[in-house]
């Protein structure tokens, strides 16, 4: 493994730029990499100024040169990963009235096809062909697709830049032709009125904020669309979704701290949004509907891990909320869906999810049981309201995804799909474990491990340690066929369930946000140290991986404990935290103040962020090899964040490395859009990880 000479890094001009904030001088010599016309660039990438493009192009060439040594391994990994995909595949159909709706993929196809057929079987109709729609485009992603209640029209959206600015269109499904209706700059969602004559959508403003709920009547010009609701607070985003009953749309305004909801009767075109309860700091709730009641998942009255309450439709304000599933500390209620005769919620306790079904007729509840010690679970409500059938998917780090239809009345389940790996898979070849590291303050941090079952006892292995730790997102212990390419070669794949997520309840999230954000970074470092101390690996044989807010984690641990890691993979890393949180004009900044703090108004928040912001804490020291990735049209982590960070790292590194940046000039936050193009990116990540360590001699070639 060779190391790059820092003098060979692409030159990035450092231009003096400083300001005083709360009495502190901030130097930002690479601020010029932020294009003044960044909003235009999101929709029109070719508008990027030539001087900035030259920097990104030079960094991309440098990255390609560095990664050239991994090319053969990337090709091998890509071949393995693709061999595990059933290329011509279909999801189980979801019934609605006279039709079954489903998605499928074709052999060699990059994108999904949305289809329908007569209920129970019959000839298929392709409604949307993602491969055909993507033809000739560098990026293409289908957004939402929602059929009208009369099954005649399909409102569907797509993004062809990666900027998450979706254009809505309407297809007449009876003749497979798009109508003239076309609405650009939306968040991609649509909710139909019950008579199928109109739909509601979310318009995105100039700063990329989903702010206005509009009603579009089929066959009319966009300029005639009616404004139904506008969120004027720049710290809040507005969204609209359908209650499962189909009777109401819910308009939800929220940030990371609070929310308020309005309901809209979809049977009445003259109806105005009706407020459930005005927003209050720290109070969150969302709404479902069944019969004469709204059901709300909420943290009101100190229900830190949430509870479920019911309220009468005619008087849904907080004074009339009645507990139906009380709060239990440590048991976090994640979601709630209502059916005509059942209410279903997902909860998580001790790090494991569970589905609980309540029978409206018998007033009895039961949980759906699972046998493995660690697993992942998701729930799909489907289209139909008056049905006893619930669909859920289950997997573990060793067990491929299984999809079940569950009869809530008889409590029986039917396996409707088992994820198939064409190249073969033997779960007994692998073992998963959950261990705990002790944090500086005594907190126990869960670590999920996946490894070969035949790994010799007492041996050490390279480890890829993944982490996120933000926004209350809990990392599931799910199955990933791609990870097998590392594990087969002797890696231990580890997930650090650090604070900032809700893996151990809402308090676990609160202990990793705002002024307590450094807990996330130190938890991750503690997990790395624990893996070393318990003999799973040696220092310098760990590769760290994280993206977005997890990319901030990567930047922080690179500054705090560079000696622990052989390499760091930072996907679209949120690393310029202080400058971004000081810029109220950026799309995500005002809502993000509830997650990170507002350094504009609070000197305390400013000092806290300044102390850990990865870009601001780069120093003259040796760094591990760092592979950073960005997306030119990314509205969440703008391209200049990783570009500035890497430029400063390259200017300060005194040893180790190399540090390099690969910017996808044709995509945004999620990387490449095609499924095989995405696999190529994963293969490149893993090839880089493999290049940083020595593979153990006991590991044989991949599973046959």
The C-alpha atoms of residue 329 and residue 304 are separated, in whole angstroms, by: 7
Segment 441-446 long-range contacts (CB within 8 Å, at least 24 positions apart)? 441/519, 443/499, 443/511, 443/523, 445/496, 445/497, 445/498, 445/499, 445/523, 445/526, 445/527, 446/351, 446/497, 446/503, 446/504
The C-alpha atoms of residue 27 and residue 616 are separated, in whole angstroms, by: 9
Q: Is 669 designated active site? A: yes
265: left (phi over 0), alpha (psi -120 to 50) or beta: beta
The CB-side HSE value for 493 (13 A sphere, CA atoms) comes to 23
Q: Is 327 designated active site? A: no
Residue of 100, 160, 634, 666 with catalytic role: 634
Residue of 381, 548, 613, 673 with catalytic role: 548
The C-alpha atoms of residue 499 and residue 470 are separated, in whole angstroms, by: 8
580: left (phi over 0), alpha (psi -120 to 50) or beta: alpha
Contact by Cβ (8 Å): 248, 264: yes
Residue of 111, 147, 522, 669 with catalytic role: 669
> Tokens standing for 409?
């009345």
Q: Is 378 designated active site? A: no
Q: Which helix (H) or strand (E) holds 650?
A: helix 640-652
Give the distance, in angstroms, between the CA of residue 322 and the centroid of all CA atoms in the same chain: 33
Where do the H-state alpha helices sit in 29-110? Answer: 38-43, 50-67, 71-83
User: Crossing angle for the helix pair 675-691 and 50-67, nearest 10 degrees?
Assistant: 60
Evaluate the CA torsion angle 511, 512, 518, 519 in order and state its sign: positive
Catalytic residues: 548, 634, 669
């Amino acid at each position: 493994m060779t190391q790059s000479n820092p003098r060979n890094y692409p030159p990035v001009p450092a231009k003096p730029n400083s300001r005083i904030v709360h009495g502190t001088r901030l130097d930002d010599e690479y601020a010029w990499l932020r294009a003044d016309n960044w909003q235009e660039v999101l929709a029109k990438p070719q508008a990027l100024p030539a001087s900035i493009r030259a920097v990104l192009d030079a960094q991309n060439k440098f990255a390609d040169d560095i990664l050239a040594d991994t090319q053969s391994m990337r090709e091998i990994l890509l071949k393995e990963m693709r061999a595990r995909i059933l290329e011509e595949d279909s999801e189980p159909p979801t019934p609605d009235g006279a039709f079954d709706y489903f998605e499928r993929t074709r052999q060699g196809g990059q994108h999904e096809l949305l289809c329908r057929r007569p209920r129970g079987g019959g000839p298929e109709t392709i409604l949307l062909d993602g491969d055909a729609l993507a033809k000739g485009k560098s990026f293409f992603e289908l957004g939402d697709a929602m059929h009208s209640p009369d099954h005649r029209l399909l409102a569907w959206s797509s993004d062809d830049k990666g900027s998450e600015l979706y254009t809505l269109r309407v297809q007449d499904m009876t003749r497979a032709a798009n109508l003239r209706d076309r609405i650009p700059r939306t968040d991609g969602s649509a909710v139909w009125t019950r008579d199928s004559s109109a739909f509601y959508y979310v318009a995105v403003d100039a700063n990329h904020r989903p702010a206005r709920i509009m009603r579009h009547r089929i066959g009319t010009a966009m300029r005639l669309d009616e404004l139904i609701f506008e969120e004027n607070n720049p710290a809040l985003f507005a969204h609209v979704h359908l209650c499962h009953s189909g009777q109401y749309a819910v308009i939800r305004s929220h940030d990371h701290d609070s929310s308020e909801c309005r309901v809209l009767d979809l049977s009445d075109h003259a109806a105005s949004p009706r407020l459930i309860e005005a927003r209050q700091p720290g109070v969150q709730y969302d709404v479902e509907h069944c019969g004469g009641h709204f059901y709300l998942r909420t943290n009101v009255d100190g229900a830190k891990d949430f509870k479920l309450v019911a309220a009468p439709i005619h008087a849904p304000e907080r004074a009339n909320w009645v507990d139906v599933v009380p709060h239990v500390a440590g048991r976090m209620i994640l979601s709630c869906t209502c059916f005509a005769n059942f209410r279903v919620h997902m909860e998580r306790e001790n790090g494991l999810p569970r589905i609980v079904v309540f029978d409206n007729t018998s007033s009895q509840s039961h949980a759906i049981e699972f046998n493995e010690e660690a697993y992942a679970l998701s729930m799909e409500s489907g289209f139909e309201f008056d049905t006893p059938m619930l669909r859920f998917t289950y997997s573990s780090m060793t067990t491929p995804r299984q999809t079940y239809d569950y009869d809530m009345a008889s409590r029986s389940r039917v396996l409707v799909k088992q994820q198939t790996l064409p190249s073969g898979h033997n779960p007994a070849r692998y073992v998963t474990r959950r261990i705990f590291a002790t944090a500086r303050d005594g907190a126990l941090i869960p670590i999920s491990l996946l490894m070969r079952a035949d790994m010799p006892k007492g041996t050490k292995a390279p480890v890829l340690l993944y982490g996120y730790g933000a926004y209350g997102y809990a990392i599931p212990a799910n199955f990933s066929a791609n990870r097998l390419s590392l594990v087969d070669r002797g890696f231990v794949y580890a997930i650090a369930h650090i604070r900032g997520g809700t893996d151990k309840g809402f308090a676990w999230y609160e202990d990793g946000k705002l002024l307590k954000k450094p807990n996330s970074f130190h938890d991750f470092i503690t997990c790395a140290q624990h893996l070393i101390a318990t003999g799973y690996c040696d220092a310098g044989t760990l590769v760290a991986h994280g993206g977005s807010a997890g990319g901030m984690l990567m930047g922080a641990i690179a500054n705090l404990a560079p000696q622990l890691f052989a390499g760091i993979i930072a996907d679209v890393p949120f690393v310029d935290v202080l400058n971004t949180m000081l810029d109220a004009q950026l799309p995500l900044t005002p809502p993000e103040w509830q997650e990170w703090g507002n350094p504009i108004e609070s000197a305390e928040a400013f000092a806290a962020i300044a102390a850990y912001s990865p870009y601001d804490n780069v120093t003259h020291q040796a760094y591990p090899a760092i592979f950073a990735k960005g997306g030119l049209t990314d509205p969440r982590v703008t391209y200049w964040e990783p570009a500035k960070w890497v430029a400063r790292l390259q200017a300060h590194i005194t040893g180790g490395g190399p540090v390099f940046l690969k910017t996808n000039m044709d995509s945004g936050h999620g990387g490449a859009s095609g499924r095989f193009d995405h696999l190529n990116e994963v293969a490149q990540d893993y090839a880089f990880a493999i290049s940083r360590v020595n593979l153990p001699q006991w590991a044989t070639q991949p599973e046959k």
